[in-house]
């Protein structure tokens, strides 16, 4: 993100209503490499392709913001790799991390990884370090420390159904697991901030928060998100595109001030549930409209969503989730231009 | 017949031990296995599905109710075999080739078992040949295909195509589901049914059996 984009983002998070409304998209490996003409594995393994694809997107859509911006990632394998997960790769497939815990009892033997040395994490840092001069020469800075959230990582280590069942059957061990994961996350975020002093935001992604009840969210998500987001940064950005009616009223207490959510809820409902204290980023349907619709569909959906909303403060228009695979250029441009027309 | 409220409540609450104990007690008191399913487990899982659809229940609650049901079926299966009673249908489930996600499939399996179906879960990353081999091994009425990723959902289409080529397509009904799947997509690949949620898969399976 360049300075102007960052300032725009901070203004929205602080409650300003901008005209026209800003647009932004989370972009990463499910969309970017294929859009730019590369395979996912080439994107992960070639620094030049990673840089070129990111810059290509930023130049193709200069009117919008891409978050977190130059996201150095290895899909769902990034953090689990540090815990010893076997990571599986296909030429043009999303990587997959195999679980490392066979039962709740195994948590006792789980060690907190060292984010400076373990798994793919040194590669995440080094990739950005190598490219930092060119990123900055292009007018951008590394703004966010990024990680999967505590429940998301825990579910990869245990298996999602197993983890969600174990919070009922083995709550003590699951708290222990989440403590280990969160201790690690706090350190991982600190390592990123140390490597890139331009970081002034934390971005965590955790859909598993949306799978649990309000009561379980209070017990198993909120305390750990509070710790993970505790660092003194300006933007605390959270992504959960699973249902979030139960969790959204609790998110303010974690420090989160920017939320990307899914298509299950309206912006009005989300504003109400978050007491309009959290800036919202959403929520054009990513698959059915942005990826599979026509530019006219995108225009219609965007207009409907914006016209249904009386209060446009703390709002960034985006899709309900990350940029979906195969979202075409013309649809993204249609979304951006419609927002400009409708909200100017 | 014995009141099965206690059993139903234990399943709904996901209290596995209590559910199993209530099932044992009912069987000891002469309740027939099929009645236990029809008037105990089935209505309980239907209520769990309703609570999930209405946002009262979440995935952990669904999983616990499903686990309670599964444990009861461990007791029931040999009894059902003795009586010669047959399940409503034998359903094969699997996440398609290239996709390693299992949460949706596992929830569907649990709901279907609770709904009185016999489920054979082939796991994740299941190649078409594994489905075909299972279909040929013993009678299957429905095959359920799951995919979580847009990159793996085309494997549903190729799996159905492989069923055609192997000559087994007409023997079975095919239901599909998963985050990226829509009714339009299900129709376009030649599936017989699409379920948006795990809870709705039971009704879908019943409709497919009736069609």
Helix (H, G, I), strand (E, B) or coil at A318: strand
Residue B149: is its pLDDT beyond 80? no
Please tell me the predicted confidence (pLDDT) of residue B31. 95
B55 and A245 within 8 Å at the Cβ level: the answer is yes
pLDDT in tens, A47-87: 999 999 999 999 999 999 999 999 999 999 999 999 999 99
Helix (H, G, I), strand (E, B) or coil at A96: strand
Helix (H, G, I), strand (E, B) or coil at A241: coil
B64 and A165 within 8 Å at the Cβ level: the answer is yes
Residues of A in contact with B107 (CB under 8 A): 161
A212 and B60 within 8 Å at the Cβ level: the answer is yes
A168 and B63 within 8 Å at the Cβ level: the answer is yes
Mutate to test the interface with A, among B16, B53, B63 (most CBs of A within 10 A): B63
d(CA A336, CA A316): 11
Name the band, by pLDDT with cuts 50, 70 and 90, for residue A183: very high
Helix (H, G, I), strand (E, B) or coil at A243: coil
A94 and B102 within 8 Å at the Cβ level: the answer is no
What tokens were used for A15? 């409650």
ipTM of the complex as predicted: 0.90
Q: Does B106 touch chain A (CB under 8 A)?
A: yes
pLDDT in tens, A304-315: 999 999 899 999
Please tell me the predicted confidence (pLDDT) of residue B46. 86
**Integer-rounded Cα radius of gyration of chain B:** 17
d(CA B112, CA B107): 9
**What is chain A's mean pLDDT, rounded?**
96
A164 and B98 within 8 Å at the Cβ level: the answer is no
pLDDT in tens, B68-87: 988 998 899 889 888 887 77
Residues of A in contact with B12 (CB under 8 A): none
Residue B101: is its pLDDT beyond 90? no
B36-39 long-range Cβ contacts below 8 angstroms, 24+ apart: B36/B4, B36/B7, B36/B72, B36/B76, B37/B76, B37/B116, B38/B116, B39/B1, B39/B4
H/E element holding A271? helix A267-273
- Summarize the confidence of residues A133-158 as an average pLDDT: 97
CA–CA min distance A308, chain B (Å) = 24
Q: Does B51 touch chain A (CB under 8 A)?
A: no
What percent of chain B shows pLDDT beyond 70? 100
Q: Where are the domains of chain A?
A: 3-343
Q: Check: CATH 3.20.20.210 for A3-343?
A: yes
A164 and B100 within 8 Å at the Cβ level: the answer is no
Q: Which residue has the higher pLDDT, B11 or B66?
A: B11
Largest pairwise CA distance in chain A: 57
Name the band, by pLDDT with cuts 50, 70 and 90, for residue B133: very high
Chain B (75-104) residues lying within 8 Å, Cβ to Cβ, of chain A: 98, 100-103
pLDDT in tens, B176-202: 999 888 888 899 999 999 998 887 898
Helix (H, G, I), strand (E, B) or coil at A183: helix
Please tell me the predicted confidence (pLDDT) of residue A198. 98
Please tell me the predicted confidence (pLDDT) of residue B98. 82
pLDDT in tens, A266-292: 999 999 999 999 999 999 999 889 998
Please tell me the predicted confidence (pLDDT) of residue B70. 86
- Summarize the confidence of residues A239-248 as an average pLDDT: 94
Which of B63, B150, B182 comes nearest A165 by C-beta? B63
B64 and A161 within 8 Å at the Cβ level: the answer is no
- Summarize the confidence of residues B21-32 as an average pLDDT: 96
Q: A88 vs A1, A94, A96, A130, B147, CA distance in Å?
A: 31, 9, 5, 25, 17
Residue B29: is its pLDDT beyond 80? yes
B63 and A161 within 8 Å at the Cβ level: the answer is yes
Residues of B in contact with A328 (CB under 8 A): none
Q: pTM of the prediction?
A: 0.91
d(CA B147, CA B157): 11
Question: Which residues of A make CB contacts under 8 Å with B?
Answer: 30, 88, 90, 92-94, 96, 159-161, 164-165, 167-169, 211-213, 216, 243, 245-246, 287-288, 291, 324-326
If you measure CA to CA, which chain A residue comes closest to B180? A287
Q: Where are the domains of chain B?
A: 5-83, 90-210
Residue B151: is its pLDDT beyond 80? no
Phi and psi at residue B93, in whole multiples of 5°?
Answer: -125, 150
Q: Which residue in the block uniquely carries the two structure tokens 């996440």?
A: B95
Residue B1: is its pLDDT beyond 80? no
Please tell me the predicted confidence (pLDDT) of residue B179. 81
What does CATH list as the number for B5-83? 1.10.1240.10
d(CA B62, CA B110): 9
Please tell me the predicted confidence (pLDDT) of residue A214. 96
Mutate to test the interface with B, among A98, A104, A160, A161 (most CBs of B within 10 A): A161
Name the band, by pLDDT with cuts 50, 70 and 90, for residue A106: very high
Q: Which residue has the higher pLDDT, B33 or A115?
A: A115
- Summarize the confidence of residues A144-152 as an average pLDDT: 97
Which of B55, B67, B180 comes nearest A165 by C-beta? B67
A90 and B98 within 8 Å at the Cβ level: the answer is yes
Residues of A in contact with B102 (CB under 8 A): 159-161
Which homologous superfamily does the CATH classification assign to the domain defined by B90-210?
Answer: Cobalamin-binding domain (3.40.50.280)
Residues of A in contact with B63 (CB under 8 A): 161, 164-165, 168
């Amino acid at each position: 993100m360049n300075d102007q984009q960052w300032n725009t983002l901070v203004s929205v998070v602080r409650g300003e209503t901008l005209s026209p409304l800003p647009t932004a998209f989370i972009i990463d490996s499910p969309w970017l490499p294929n859009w730019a003409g590369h395979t996912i594995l080439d994107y992960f393994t070639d620094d030049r392709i990673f840089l070129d694809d990111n810059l290509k997107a930023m130049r193709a859509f200069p009117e919008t913001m891409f978050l977190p911006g130059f996201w150095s990632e290895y899909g769902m394998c990034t953090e689990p790799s540090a815990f010893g997960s076997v990571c599986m790769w296909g030429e043009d497939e999303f990587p997959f991390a195999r679980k490392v815990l066979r039962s709740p009892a195994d948590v006792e033997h789980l060690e907190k990884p060292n984010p400076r040395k373990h798994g793919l994490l040194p590669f995440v840092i080094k990739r950005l370090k190598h490219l930092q001069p060119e990123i900055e020469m292009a007018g951008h800075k590394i703004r966010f420390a990024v990680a999967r959230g505590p429940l998301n990582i825990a579910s990869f280590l245990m298996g999602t159904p197993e983890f969600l069942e174990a919070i009922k059957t083995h709550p003590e061990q699951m708290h222990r697991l989440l403590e280990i994961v969160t201790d690690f996350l706090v350190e991982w975020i600190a390592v990123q901030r140390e490597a890139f002093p331009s970081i002034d935001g934390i971005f965590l992604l955790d859909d598993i928060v949306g799978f649990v009840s309000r009561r379980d969210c209070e017990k198993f998500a909120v305390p750990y998100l509070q710790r993970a987001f505790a660092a003194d940064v300006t933007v605390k950005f959270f992504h959960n595109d699973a249902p979030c009616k139960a969790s959204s009223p609790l998110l303010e207490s974690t420090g989160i001030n920017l939320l990307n959510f899914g298509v299950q809820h309206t912006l009005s409902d989300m504003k109400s549930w978050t007491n309009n204290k959290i800036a919202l980023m959403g929520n054009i349907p990513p698959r059915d409209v942005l990826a599979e619709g026509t530019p006219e569909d995108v225009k219609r959906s965007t207009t409907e969503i914006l016209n249904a909303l009386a209060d446009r403060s703390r709002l960034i228009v985006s899709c309900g989730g990350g940029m979906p695979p195969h979202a075409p250029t013309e649809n993204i441009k249609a979304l951006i231009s419609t927002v400009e027309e409708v909200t100017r | 017949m014995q009141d099965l409220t206690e059993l139903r409540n234990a399943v709904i609450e996901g209290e596995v031990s209590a559910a199993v104990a209530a099932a044992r007690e009912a069987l000891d008191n002469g309740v027939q296995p099929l009645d236990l399913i029809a008037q105990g487990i089935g209505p309980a899982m239907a209520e769990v599905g309703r609570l999930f659809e209405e946002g009262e229940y979440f995935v952990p609650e669904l999983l616990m109710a499903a686990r309670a049901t599964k444990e009861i079926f461990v007791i029931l299966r040999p009894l059902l075999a003795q009586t010669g009673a047959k399940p409503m249908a034998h359903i094969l489930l699997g996440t398609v080739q290239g996709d390693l996600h299992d949460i949706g499939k596992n929830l569907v399996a649990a709901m279907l078992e609770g709904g009185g179906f016999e489920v054979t879960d082939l796991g994740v990353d299941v190649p078409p040949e594994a489905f075909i081999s299972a279909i040929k091994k013993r009678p299957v009425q429905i095959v359920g295909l799951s995919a979580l990723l847009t990159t793996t959902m085309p494997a549903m289409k190729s799996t159905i195509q492989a069923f055609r080529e192997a000559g087994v397509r007409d023997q079975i009904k095919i239901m599909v589901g998963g985050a990226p799947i829509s009714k339009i997509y299900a129709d376009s690949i030649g599936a017989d049914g699409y379920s948006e949620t795990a809870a709705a898969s039971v009704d879908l399976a019943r409709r497919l059996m009736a069609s």
